[in-house]
């Protein structure tokens, strides 16, 4: 059984704003891992990337959780995520924004070299962006849903994603691509959501929550 490492259960009060989920529409490419994609996959490339791909296992310094992908609901986002996982893009990246009762967010490669707060935090990406896939019918922002962060534009998906800590269906506009859900290790997600942060509009964890490894497991 996946177990979360013990963390202080501190009361965290944070503001709620959809704008906090955004990332730059011109993401930094200065720290992208070599041989990672230079662009988001096409529809045909997405089909090939997702062939045989099952769930994604994310190991952090807090614990491990598993994401079930939704390739039919968001093929481009799911395939892009898988491609970035396979090239090691997410390894050693931090969860740079944690808002208790809202979301945990990661995917900015700048956090490999800077674990704290800095002016450009939350603006990094894979060096490209791609079109937002609106949530498919029947998919909602329920608890533990995995969603692409964007900058409020039609082509601003990149590498940043967030996990809903509670049901946010009534609080988020349907402008964020849903591409998976945490199906194992939800207690780890909850534990990350309780770490102490800087508060304010930044909500940077005071002790870094680091993605140590990410693995794509084969589907059935």
3-class secondary-structure state, position 185: coil
Under the phi-then-psi rule, with left for phi > 0, alpha for psi from -120 to 50, and beta for the rest, what region is 159? Answer: alpha
d(CA 64, CA 76): 25
On whether the 40-218 domain is CATH 2.40.100.10, my answer is yes
pTM for the model stands at 0.88
Structure tokens at 125: 């990406």
33 pLDDT band, cuts 50/70/90, is low
Which of these, 96, 145, 147, 154, lies nearest to 124 by C-alpha position? 96
pLDDT in tens, 77-109: 999 999 999 999 999 999 999 999 999 999 999
Residue 88's alpha-carbon distances to 77, 81, 171, 213, in angstroms, are 17, 11, 33, 8
Cβ–Cβ contacts within 10 Å for residue 77, how many? 29
């Amino acid at each position: 059984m996946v177990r979360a490492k013990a963390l202080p259960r501190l009361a965290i009060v944070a503001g709620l704003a959809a704008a906090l989920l955004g990332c730059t529409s011109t993401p930094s490419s200065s720290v992208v891992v070599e041989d990672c994609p230079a662009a988001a996959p096409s529809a045909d490339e997405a089909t090939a990337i997702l062939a045989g791909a099952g769930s994604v296992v994310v190991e952090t310094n807090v614990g491990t959780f598993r994401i079930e992908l939704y390739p039919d609901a968001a093929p481009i986002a799911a395939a892009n995520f898988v491609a970035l996982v396979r090239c090691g893009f997410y390894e050693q990246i931090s969860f740079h924004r944690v808002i208790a009762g809202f979301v945990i967010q990661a995917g900015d490669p700048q956090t490999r070299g800077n674990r704290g707060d800095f002016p450009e935090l939350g603006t990094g990406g894979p060096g490209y962006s791609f079109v937002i896939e609106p949530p498919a019918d029947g998919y909602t922002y329920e608890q533990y849903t995995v969603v692409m962060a964007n900058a409020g534009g039609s082509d601003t998906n990149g590498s940043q994603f967030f996990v809903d800590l509670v049901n946010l269906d009534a609080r988020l506009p349907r402008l964020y691509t849903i591409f998976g859900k945490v199906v194992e290790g939800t207690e780890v997600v909850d534990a990350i959501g309780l770490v102490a942060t800087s508060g304010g509009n930044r909500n940077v964890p005071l002790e870094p929550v680091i993605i140590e490894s990410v693995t794509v497991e084969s589907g059935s």
